[in-house]
Amino acid sequence: MDFSTSHGRVIPGQPPGPAEKVDGFTEPKDGQGAGPNLPIEDISPGYYGLPVLKTPVWRWEVWAYFFLGGLAAGSFVVASLARLFGDVDDRPIWRTGYLISLLAVLGCPPFLIKDLGRPARFLNMLRIFKPQSPMSLGVWGLLGFSGCALGQALISLRADVDVVEVGRPRRGSLSRGVAALGTVLGLFLGSYTGVLLSVTSVPLWSRSRLLGPTFLASALSSGTAAVSLGLLVSGQTTPKREAALDRFKLVTLIAEAIGLTLFLRETGRAARPLFSFQQMGRSFLLGAVGLGVGVPIFSRLLAGSSCRLVSGLSAVATLIGSLLLRRSIVEAGHWSAEDAEMTFWHTDRAKRGAR
Amino acid sequence: MPGLGTSFGRGGATTFQQDLINSDCILIMGSNMAEAHPIAFSWALRAKERGATLFHVDPHFSRTSALASAYLPIRSGSDIAFLGGLINHILTNERYFREYVVAYTNAANVVSADYRDTEDLAGLFSGYDPATRSYDSASWGYERQVGADGVALPVRDITLEHPRCVFQILRRHFARYTPEVVESICGTPKEQFLQVAEALAANSGRERTSAICYALGWTQHSKGAQTVRAAAILQLLLGNIGRPGGGILALRGHASIQGSTDVPTLYDLLGGYMPQPSALLPQQSLADYLATAAPHSGYWDNLPKFMVSFLRAWYGDAASADNDYCYDYVPKTVRDHSHLATTYEMVDGKIKGMLVLGQNPAGGSSHARLQREALARLDWLVVRDLYQTETAAFWTPAAGVDPATIATEVFFLPAAGPGEKAGTFTNTQRLLQWKEKAVDPPGDARSDAWFIHNLARRLKALYATSVEPRDRPIHALAWDYDRSEAEPDSQIADEPDVEQVLKEINGFTWPERCQLADVADLKADGSTACGSWIYCGVYPGEGMNRAASRVPDQYLSPDWGFAWPANRRTLYNRASADPAGRPWSERKKYVWWDPLQGRWTGLDVPDFPIALPPDQEGNPGASGMAALGGADPFIMRPDGKGWLFAPTGLLDGPLPTHYEPAESPVGNQLYRGQRSNPIARFYRQRRDNPLAGPGDDRYPIVLTTYRLTEHHVSGPMTRWLPWLSELQPELFVELSPELARERGIRHRDWLTIVSARGAIEARAMVTRRLRPFRIEDRTVHQVGLPFHWGYQGVATGSIANDLTHLVLEPNVGINEVKAIMVDVRPGRLRDQRLVQPSLHAGETTGPPIPSGQDAPDLNRRRNE
Amino acid sequence: MIEPLDRLLKSLEKAPPPTQKPAMGFFTDTTLCIGCKACEVACKEWNQLPSEGYTWTGNSYDNTGALGATTWRHVLFVEQVPESRQAPRWLLMSDVCKHCANAPCQEVCPTGAIIRTEFDSVYVQQDVCNGCGYCIAACPFGVIERNPLDGGAHKCTMCYDRLKIGEQPACAKVCPTQSIQFGDLRDLRQRARQRVTDLQSRGQDDAYLYGDDETILEGGLHAFFLLVDRPDVYNLPAEPKRPVANARPGYLASFVAATGFLLAGVYAFKRRG
Ligand SMILES: Nc1nc2c(c(=O)[nH]1)N[C@H]1C(S)=C(S)[C@@H](COP(=O)(O)OP(=O)(O)OC[C@H]3O[C@@H](n4cnc5c(=O)[nH]c(N)nc54)[C@H](O)[C@@H]3O)O[C@H]1N2
Ligand SMILES: Nc1nc2c(c(=O)[nH]1)N[C@H]1C(S)=C(S)[C@@H](COP(=O)(O)OP(=O)(O)OC[C@H]3O[C@@H](n4cnc5c(=O)[nH]c(N)nc54)[C@H](O)[C@@H]3O)O[C@H]1N2
Ligand code: SF4
Ligand code: SF4
Ligand code: SF4
Ligand code: SF4
Ligand code: SF4
Ligand SMILES: [Mo]
């Protein structure tokens, strides 16, 4: 479809030429006497400024769940890395990790249910398996992952008794298998929430394909941070353990930083709500970027990983940042959906590649 | 509708909605057709899709304008100037349909030498009596010449050259209505006006036809009937009456408002437009009545048959030739008993009680504050309605009054709604359609027929033993509408049989009660009974309810319902053939003379004596139909002609003339000395109906009132309904940005509208759909106000009619609510520091308005 | 022993699907709309939807604003009257769920509540929907909405109950001007294209169809419109993308990232100082 002919208004009976100045039809911003068809200086497209899209109904339950799910996934993945590729000395890492993962994943269903319009029908999610729908896939993924998290937590508790057997491959094969499966599911769990958001019509969420990887990075960094914080609190931190965690976390943080940058680049001006302090600017810039990425990276670069206080605070910052990342992206989606002008810009093919 | 009745013979739309698809050009003026008559408008739209041009001439750009081919702005109350301009254009450019005009209109008739036109008398016709503010129409008659047989016959000059022939009078009368004058009076740009004039001319004649649709924008003025007359003149000159795609479509209001004049609820008519006898006229016996009530040439010569059958229907066995068929029992009018005259009698304490069935005067009638005042002076009031209307609740705090101050005893009776009762609707094109009852009404709600029926039965029982002569009319009243068997699926036992009523209206033989099939079967000897002769044929035999038949076809649908008269869809359709009886053109073929069969035939039922050959000469001296010749299509006119000039029939002149409304921003540009209709009923002597004087700069803005699709009239049927109320929840006034800027009014804000009668508040809809007019080189602002709100219901708002006045059109007594003068100011009413003008000297009535310390009294200001 | 088992097995059996009918749809010709809102009211009446309150917006004659959980037909009013008052227009348009050929709401619905009926319309099964809200974020036209009263997502049903008994939808039935035309989608498309040609030959050069071809959502809309101004003037997105098109690239990018993270993790644990 080519709309260019209809851009200029054709006045019946007159040759279509340079169109008459079209009057705008917007909410009079200052209430200054603009009627339904008064010209306004800045002619904005649309219909009385009313949104094209419906505001998403997803609120704090959803971003809280996104965070918890990410945390569960991240801590599980880190724990499994330690379980599969670490040595005996890393046992506290995976034990702490699996515990955190179990606690976090147990926290998810209440939020997921609370967020529904008809919570009693939560189980209807399980009446079908619909890979086309990221939410359906996500629910099944979460279910599978929860099983792994529960299993692994139990196994690791039992494994507490026969420490000596840790090194013996045969005895640990079940545990290793579950760790591997859970890792795959965890990586899915950490990323699908971003994909879910991008499979919508909300400009902020759907312009870029990188919300999945970005959320995954954030999930892993928050999971790692939670594990190192757990070790720190329980006094099990050792330089060796910290070294692995720290290095992995740095990778995820840098990936998150790159992911966010690319995400913002692809999203272009639809990302405006993330920069406006009236909207989600504070949460995103100060929280998600500042606390979640900036503080940990810079504290690492400036203070190294030796100071426990610094790395503890940096872990806390990472966690808060990760939460605020989910919050700002989800909530900014509301602003984005309500901005009709953004919707028009987003759906104009000519401007599809635009920023 | 005397504008149409006087011109053509019958006071009804000359055509039907579906016929609009045959129009080549449609002028919608004085109607918001798309909003108030969406179904009828769909036919106009279909015509447009088939290539017709659709013009909408209106003060406000409405949803009708949005769909029209072109919209033309016009200042409220200036339509005669516009139409006069069209007439002048047609005449001066020789664009009229000459053959039609000569043969079918009274253009050739020579008018009495005593006649003086408004052009001669500076805005008055001859015969004006300033003392009584009325005309003696004697000088408007035709010049007559005594013929060979000693009968005085009208003089005709078919060359149309005689200086006193109607055609030449018309030319002179409208000569000054030039496009420039139209622009200066109406505010309509000259080019646009000429576009309409040319389109109408180009789309009329043998091959093409144009139609005109109008409604309240024309009629609710102090000169409404004359505006319709102007349209009639235009259509006669263009040869558009009686032909497919032509005609004048009066768009009537309530679902059966046509029915309520056919079988009238009016005080001055009996069934089928027979005048109500008057005590002030020599009509004290049946013979006198028959001699004076209608003309004797043309179809009205049958009046005795109609009237005697009518009396038989009312008084049954009690009526006989010896007692004048109980003619004495028929109530006689003694003065103006119209709604508004009655209101004043209530205000003045002369009327003690009132029954209100299906009306809401407290909101819907003009000068509504006075209406409520009138209700407050009654001893008792009965309201039968679907909802507790503003009228039923006029005494409540919602109405802004203290109940303790009201002495009226109010009874509210629940009424059944349309779906809860059977009966007929007669629509705008005279089509009777029967509807079945769907469900019983809830609770104690009952149909109006039930109420009247049982009221009559109880009254008859109450008076059964009375020997007072004055009670005899009640004894004599024939009342046999009881059901013979119980209504299936109904809990209501005493509902009357409304089919019985329809049968009686149709007419039957007496005493056998065999249904009549044709109005020609009516007799003047008491052997037939008929409630309204024009409906004869709707129920032609036992079990044959033609109003209930439903056979659709694509066009005329003759078996869908029944159209009076005699199921004719287009009236005067003999005019669709040339004088020789041949169709004017193949394209516009409709009814024609079939020489082989020796009768009229065609698509529709011929509106003409079926076997009267086209070449038969009329005998103007004879009585009855013999007066008419085979080329006289307007059979209800005594001379069979369409009346360009109306020697009788209208109180305010034989020709339409531009007058300003009773309240207007400018003087009469054509007749400086004669500002408004001289014989409109002003109630000038009354203090409770103050008018803004000429050029009163406290009320400089023209206001008109109109409808929105979303609501119905005064609102009770829609403002209680959430589905409709959410669509238009609040009263708003539409005004141009130019005016808003001048007054510092912002879109969406509250504003207050003040007239000499009262003040109300509304939300400001600032829109370019309204515009300022240039009238006589000055800017005149016009605002538009929907009038559907009141203090009852789920969506409430000010009552528009608190602003309007009581100035009545002289012929029909319609009130001028389409053009009044007001002022608008920003802000809510309560912040204005105004007190409502007093309706009575020395006292303030109506809802008290909080006023500041030094609130200027509008009354006082008026005296300044 | 056999009988209860039988019953159990029976209960697991699915009813046979209704036989497929020709795809039905709406062609809404805005050049015929008189803005009477009869469609809006008829829809509420037939579907017994509540009113949304009594707020006067001042947005021309539109006081209901948009489609939503309890407004399934909505009439828009766009005043285009220039200051000169030359060639004034008042665009009127009755909006409705587009019953998209590839319906984003249906594609993302995790419970299977949203189905395509035998008329190829998009229908929300109220007894299945759990109010997850995904469809709401997915719909590119802002049509479907969650009703806070019952928590379910609602929109036009294309009067499925009426179609079942051979009636046309309530809104189309009451439209006095045939602005809303309902019927076999193929006929409608043909009629609509003819209509555009006719209008253009009459000089209405700006008439075009919105949503009748594949450009929107890769399959077009089963409720499409004849418009005379840019889509945004009617609050319609010009060419919305199909949301599920984002899933594959999103998963892929996540997979790539995940692989990278795994490698980095292995490296971090294996290669410690
Ligand atoms: N939806 C709906 N339909 C209705 C009704 C309703 O209340 N609601 N009421 C029914 C009833 S009772 C009636 S009588 C009819 C009335 O039907 P209409 O007469 O068509 O309706 P109105 O809106 O009263 O006014 C008609 C138009 O006249 C214009 N007008 C005002 N003054 C003038 C003037 O001086 N000259 C000209 N040319 N135009 C003028 C107004 O701007 C308005 O557009 O509608 C019937 N139909
Ligand atoms: N300013 C201004 N004023 C006007 C007009 C205007 O254009 N402008 N128009 C005028 C016109 S044309 C008209 S027709 C009048 C209308 O004025 P009204 O007739 O006073 O107003 P309605 O609102 O139609 O009142 C009809 C009442 O009848 C009730 N009703 C409906 N059906 C039935 C029934 O079957 N039985 C009974 N018993 N009651 C029933 C309804 O609930 C409603 O309360 O208003 C006039 N007033
Ligand atoms: S409400 Fe009745 S009378 Fe009015 S347009 Fe509709 S069908 Fe006709
Ligand atoms: S318009 Fe929206 S609600 Fe309707 S089918 Fe398409 S996506 Fe679903
Ligand atoms: S809200 Fe209901 S219909 Fe919408 S996606 Fe969720 S389950 Fe499906
Ligand atoms: S098809 Fe039925 S449900 Fe859909 S808008 Fe029309 S009336 Fe409403
Ligand atoms: S019913 Fe038809 S004409 Fe009326 S608003 Fe709806 S689409 Fe427009
Ligand atoms: Mo009316």
* pLDDT (average), residues C239-252: 96
Model pLDDT, residue A4? 30
Which atom of ligand 5 is closest in space to residue C112's alpha carbon? Answer: 8
The tokens for B515 are 């249904």
- Give CA–CA dist A268/B722, Å, rounded: 44
Tens of pLDDT along B400-446?
999 999 999 999 999 999 999 999 999 999 999 999 999 999 999 99
Residue of C nearest to B728 (CA): C63
Model pLDDT, residue A108? 97
752-781 of B, contacting A, C-beta below 8 A: 765-769
Model pLDDT, residue A171? 56
Check: CB of residue A253 under 8 Å from CB of residue A297. Answer: yes
* pLDDT (average), residues B197-213: 98
Helix or strand or coil: residue B829?
Answer: helix
Which atom of ligand 6 is closest in space to residue C73's alpha carbon? Answer: 5
The tokens for B681 are 């009923």
How far does B646 lie from chain A, in Å, by closest CA? 42
Tens of pLDDT along B252-301?
988 899 999 899 989 999 999 999 999 999 999 999 999 999 888 778 99
- Give CA–CA dist B412/B357, Å, rounded: 10
Model pLDDT, residue B842? 35
Q: Which residues of A touch B741 (CB under 8 A)?
A: 33
- Give CA–CA dist B404/B698, Å, rounded: 35
The tokens for C183 are 């019927």
* pLDDT (average), residues B564-584: 96
Asked if the model's pLDDT at residue B798 lies above 70, the reply is yes
- Give CA–CA dist B380/B397, Å, rounded: 19
Alpha helical stretches, state H, chain A: 4-7, 60-85, 91-114, 134-158, 173-198, 203-206, 211-233, 239-267, 281, 295-303, 308-338, 340-347
Are A81 and C250 in contact (CB < 8 Å)? no
Q: Does A78 touch chain C (CB under 8 A)?
A: yes
Q: Indicate the residue of B737, B765, B769 with minimum beta-carbon distance to A38.
A: B737
Are B66 and C92 in contact (CB < 8 Å)? yes
728-757 of B, contacting A, C-beta below 8 A: 737, 740-741, 745-748
Residue of C nearest to A198 (CA): C246
Q: Indicate the residue of C40, C88, C177 with minimum beta-carbon distance to B45.
A: C177
- Give CA–CA dist B195/B70, Å, rounded: 9
- Give CA–CA dist A219/A69, Å, rounded: 8
Are A36 and B747 in contact (CB < 8 Å)? yes
Model pLDDT, residue A5? 27
Model pLDDT, residue B374? 95
Query: How many angstroms is it from C156 CA to the middle of ligand 6?
Result: 5
* pLDDT (average), residues B551-578: 94
Q: Does C79 touch chain B (CB under 8 A)?
A: yes
Q: Which residues of chain A have pLDDT under 70?
A: 1-34, 37-44, 159-171, 305, 349-355
Q: Does C32 touch chain B (CB under 8 A)?
A: yes
Name beta bridge partners: C95: C74
Model pLDDT, residue B103? 97
- Give CA–CA dist C19/A81, Å, rounded: 54
* pLDDT (average), residues B375-398: 97
Tens of pLDDT along B72-119?
999 999 999 999 999 999 999 999 999 999 999 999 999 999 999 999
Model pLDDT, residue A132? 96
Instruction: Please report the DSSP string for B683-705 in residue order.
Output: -TT-TTS--PPTT-TTS-EEEEE
How big, in percent rounded to 5, are the helix, strand and coil portions of chain B? 30, 15, 55
Query: Which protein residues have a CB closer than 5 Å to ligand 8 (ion)?
Result: B 253
Q: Which residues of B touch C52 (CB under 8 A)?
A: 726
Do the strands B599-602 and B591-594 form a parallel or antiparallel pair, or are they unpaired? antiparallel
Residue B701 CB partners (closer than 8 Å, separation 6+)? B665, B739, B781, B782, B783, B821, B822, B823, B824
Residues contacting ligand 5 via CB (< 6 Å): C 109, 111, 113-114, 124, 129-135, 153
Check: CB of residue C263 under 8 Å from CB of residue A233. Answer: no
Give backbone dihedrals phi and psi of C6, rounded to 5 degrees, phi first. -55, -50
Model pLDDT, residue A158? 75
Tens of pLDDT along B618-654?
887 788 888 899 999 999 998 999 999 999 999 999 9
Instruction: Quickly tell me which residue has 């050959």 as its tokens.
Output: B613
Pick among A22, A38, A53, A112 to test the C interface (most C CBs inside 10 A): A53
Of residues C272 and B343, more confidence is placed in B343
Query: How many angstroms is it from C223 CA to the middle of ligand 4?
Result: 10
Are C238 and A347 in contact (CB < 8 Å)? yes
Residue of B nearest to C36 (CA): B709
Model pLDDT, residue B58? 98
- The chains found to touch C (3+ Cβ pairs under 8 angstroms) are A, B
Question: How many percent of chain B have pLDDT more than 70?
Answer: 97
Asked if the model's pLDDT at residue B169 lies above 60, the reply is yes
How far does A30 lie from chain B, in Å, by closest CA? 11
Tens of pLDDT along B481-535?
999 998 988 999 999 999 999 999 999 999 999 999 999 999 999 999 999 999 9
Structure-derived torsion over alpha carbons of residues B540, B544, B548, B553, reported in degrees to the nearest 10: -80
Residue C30 CB partners (closer than 8 Å, separation 6+)? C91, C92, C93, C94, C179, C225, C226, C227, C228, C234
Pick among B32, B35, B723 to test the C interface (most C CBs inside 10 A): B723
Q: Indicate the residue of C58, C150, C258 with minimum beta-carbon distance to A216.
A: C258
Are B726 and C41 in contact (CB < 8 Å)? no
Tens of pLDDT along B139-163?
999 999 987 777 888 999 999 999 9
Residue of C28, C71, C144, C158 to test ligand 6 pocket, by largest number of atoms within 8 Å of CB: C158
